[in-house]
Amino acid sequence: MKVITTILYLFVVASLYGQNSNFQIAEGVITSLDLFNSSNDPKVSCYRIPALATAPNGDLIVAMDERVPSCADLKGNKDINIVIRRSKDNGKTWSDIEKIVDYPLGKSASDPSMIVDNITKEIFMFYNFMDLDNEEDVYYLHVIKSKDNGKTWSMPEDITPQIAKQEWHNDFKFITSGRGIQTRSGVLLHCMVNLNSGLRVFGSNDHGKTWFFRDSPLFPADESKIVELADGSWMVNSRSNNTGIRHIHISQDQGYSWTTREEPLLIDPGCNASIIRFTDKADGFNKNRLLFSNAKSDKDRVNMTVRISYDEGKTWSEGKTIYEGDSAYSSMTILDNGDIGLFFEKDDHTENAFVSFSLKWLTDGKDAYKKPNK
C-alpha cells in the first residue's frame, strides 16, 4: 500500500506542475521532479551543470547553464546563459525558469556555483565567462550576488585579477560548478582549477568585498569541492580523471599546505560530484555527518549514489542508489525541514532531476534527523 501511495503522489505532483516524474528513481524518495528539459523549449539545445543551494530564508535555488545553439561547453558555445528556478516549499513546487545572466551573442557564461553567507544573508553566484568574438581562448571568473534570497541579482563583478595570476591569462581556468562553503568563522571558500598548474582554493575574509587565493596547487584535482572538518581543517574532495577514484586533500593551516591521499572507496568515472556537511556536533547535533554524491562507477557516468560519513570522511557508507541509469554532475543541499536535496544530470543531460529524501531513508532506518539541542 505504501508503494502505491508513493507512486500516486508523484503522479499527482507531475500532473499538477507540468514536471516529469520518473518512476525509475529509487523507491521511497519523497520528491522527484525534472526541472530543466530542453524538449520543452525548441530554442534551447540542452541544460547542463547543476547548482543547488538553500537560501537564508529556507527557499531552494537551482541554477544551470542554458545552452542555446548546442550542448557544447563554454569554449565552443557562443550563447550560454545562467538560469534559475526557486522553491518555497522544500522542492515540491518551483517558479518558472528565470534568466539571471544573459550576455549578447558571442559572449557566454557557464558553470554556476553558489555560496550562501548566513551572516550577511547574501547569496554569491559564480560563473565562468568568455568573449568568444574577441578573446576566444581567455576565461574570466565572475560573481553576482543576491540580497533577497535569489529574487534579484547584482551586476557581474570580474574577480579574475584577485584569484588568478596575470601569467595565467590564456590558461584554461575555471571556478568549479556546484557550490562553495562558509566556514564556522565566517570565511567564504571555493575551488578554482587551472588545468595547466593545478587547483587552488580561493575565498573571502570580508563577506565578498575582496577575494584571496592560496597559491598552493593541488594535484590531482580537476573539478573539486571543499568542506570544513570538525577540527577546523579544510578538506577538498577532487575529481581525478583517468584514475577511477576520488582524491582527498587536507589542510590544517588554512590552505597554505596540503596532504593528499587516494580514496579508493569513492570510485568515480572522472565527473563532478558533491560533498556537503549535514550536521556538526558544534551546532548541537548528536553526530558529525558528511554527505557525498556522485556517479558511483569507476568507468561510466551511471548509478547516482549518495553516501554518508560519520568520521569526517575517513570512511563512507556503501551508499544508497538514487538512479541506476545515466547520471553525471550533482549538487546537494540540506532543506529547511532537515531532508536532503539532490539535483543531478540524468539520461545524457536530457533531464535534470531534483530529488529529496530523509536521513532515515538514506540509512535504512539506522539514523534519523533530529533538531539540534540548543
pLDDT tens digit sequence for 14-54: 333 334 444 368 887 888 899 999 999 999 999 999 999 99
pLDDT at 213 over 90: yes
Contact 364, 27 (CB under 8 A): no
- Residue 27 inside a domain? The answer is no
pLDDT reported for residue 24: 65
- Residue 85 inside a domain? The answer is yes
- Residue 78 inside a domain? The answer is yes
pLDDT at 7 over 50: no
> What is the spatial distance between Cα 356 and Cα 267, in angstroms, rounded to a whole number?
23
- Residue 128 inside a domain? The answer is yes
Helices and strands: H and E segment counts in the chain? 3, 25
- Residue 127 inside a domain? The answer is yes
- Residue 42 inside a domain? The answer is yes
Cis peptide bond N-terminal to 372, omega within 30: no
Shortest CA distance to 122 belongs to which of 105, 144, 142? 144
Q: Walk across the sheet containing 98-101 and list its strands.
A: 46-54, 60-67, 80-87, 98-101
CB atoms within 10 A of CB 219: 13
Dump pLDDT digits (tens) for 221-240: 999 999 999 999 999 999 99
Note the residue count of the chain.
Answer: 374
- Residue 11 inside a domain? The answer is no
Share of the chain above pLDDT 90, in %: 90
Shortest CA distance to 267 belongs to which of 300, 229, 218, 225? 300
DSSP structure class, residue 373: P
Shortest CA distance to 277 belongs to which of 286, 268, 288? 288
Whether the pTM exceeds 0.85: the reply is: yes
pLDDT reported for residue 130: 98
- Residue 274 inside a domain? The answer is no
Dump pLDDT digits (tens) for 139-170: 999 999 999 999 999 999 999 999 999 999 99
CATH of the domain at 70: 2.120.10.10
Dump pLDDT digits (tens) for 334-373: 999 999 999 999 999 999 999 999 999 999 999 999 998 7
pLDDT at 93 over 90: yes
Q: Supply the range of the domain harboring residue 67.
A: 37-160
pLDDT at 248 over 80: yes
pLDDT reported for residue 289: 98
9 versus 278: which is more confidently predicted?
A: 278
Per-position b or e across 338-359, b if 16+ CB within 10 A of its CB: ebbbbbbbbbebebbbbbbbbb
Share of the chain above pLDDT 70, in %: 93
Q: Walk across the sheet containing 122-131 and list its strands.
A: 157-158, 140-146, 122-131, 107-117, 178-179
Q: Please state the domain count of the chain.
A: 1
pLDDT reported for residue 13: 38
Query: All 3 cell numbers of residue 259?
Result: 596532504
Mean pLDDT, the chain, as a whole number?
93
- Contact partners, residue 212, CB within 8 Å, separation at least 6: 162, 163, 202, 203, 204, 205
- Give the pLDDT band (50/70/90) at residue 374: low
Dump pLDDT digits (tens) for 319-341: 999 999 999 999 999 999 999 99
DSSP structure class, residue 319: -
Contact 127, 109 (CB under 8 A): yes
Strand 178-179 to 107-117 pairing:
parallel
pLDDT at 2 over 70: no
Contact 222, 240 (CB under 8 A): yes
> What is the spatial distance between Cα 327 and Cα 348, in angstroms, rounded to a whole number?
7
> What is the spatial distance between Cα 72 and Cα 288, in angstroms, rounded to a whole number?
40
